[in-house]
């Protein structure tokens, strides 16, 4: 419910603020390094949760607002996140369609501002899992089909078309739960991940 409320509020704000914006559309791709923050020691004992590599790709919508330097960046991306489950000697891969929506501020540089513009971003990301977990292979592991993350990042725009962006996502809602009836204790995990992407705006 909390994730749905945040999503609805975000969409309302975006709809209002982009009504008079200058909009560009582009493509984006990059790498994703995921870790899982668990609230129980049993979870840490059963998983190798750090630094599992994945990838992301999709489309970007860049809206420049009629306020100097300010904009909104919307994305629709495919993302793969993995977690190593030592108990099963295998990695659980989770595939998502994600919608990061960031407030973006471009920093005006003297002389070279027309060609190079650093920027900072922050905002929520809503993820919807699209692959069904095999219950026979992963007994006792429950994945949440909808999660919410808060992102912060920085990047650079080159010639108003190319963007290179690095960001960190801090999970706000549970993504994985381990069943205490199978693992002797209940553990809940939230995703935390770094992403490095490149985008081209048409």
**pLDDT tens track for 98-142:** 999 999 999 989 888 889 999 999 999 999 999 876 666 778 888
- 147 exposure class (CB count in 10 Å sphere: 0-12, 13-18, 19+): buried
Tokens of 83: 């977690």
CATH number of the structural domain spanning residue 73: 2.40.160.20
CA dist 73 and 188 (Å) reads: 31
Helix boundaries (H) for the chain:
2-17, 41-46, 180-183
**What tens digit of pLDDT does each residue of 22-55 get?**
899 999 999 999 888 877 665 556 665 555 788 9
Based on the structure, what is the number of domains in the chain?
Answer: 1
Half-sphere exposure of 194 (CA within 13 A, CB side): 8
Range of the domain at 43: 2-14+22-201
Three-state DSSP class for residue 172: coil
Q: Which residue has the tokens 């069943």?
A: 179
Q: CA 121, CA 194: separation in Å to the nearest integer?
A: 14
Q: Which residue has the higher pLDDT, 135 or 173?
A: 173
- Asked whether the beta carbons of 38 and 188 are under 8 A apart, the reply is yes
Is 62:76 a contact under the CB 8 Å cutoff? no
């Amino acid at each position: 419910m909390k994730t749905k409320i945040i999503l609805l509020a975000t969409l309302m704000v975006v709809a209002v603020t982009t009504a008079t914006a200058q909009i560009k559309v582009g493509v984006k791709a990059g790498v994703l390094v995921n870790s899982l923050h668990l609230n129980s020691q049993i979870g840490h004992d059963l998983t190798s949760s750090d630094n599992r590599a994945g990838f992301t790709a999709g489309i970007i919508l860049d809206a420049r607002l009629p306020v100097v330097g300010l904009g909104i960046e919307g994305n629709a991306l495919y993302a793969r996140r993995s977690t190593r489950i030592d108990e099963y000697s295998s990695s659980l891969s989770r595939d998502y369609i994600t919608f990061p929506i960031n407030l973006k501020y471009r920093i005006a540089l003297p002389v070279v501002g027309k060609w190079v513009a650093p920027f900072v971003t922050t905002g929520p990301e809503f993820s919807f899992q699209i692959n069904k977990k095999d219950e026979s292979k992963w007994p006792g592991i429950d994945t949440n089909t909808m999660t919410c993350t808060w992102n912060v990042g920085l990047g650079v725009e080159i010639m108003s078309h190319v963007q290179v962006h690095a960001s960190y996502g801090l999970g706000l809602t549970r993504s994985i739960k381990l069943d205490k009836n199978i693992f002797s204790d209940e553990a809940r995990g939230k995703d935390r991940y770094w992403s490095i992407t490149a985008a081209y705006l048409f």
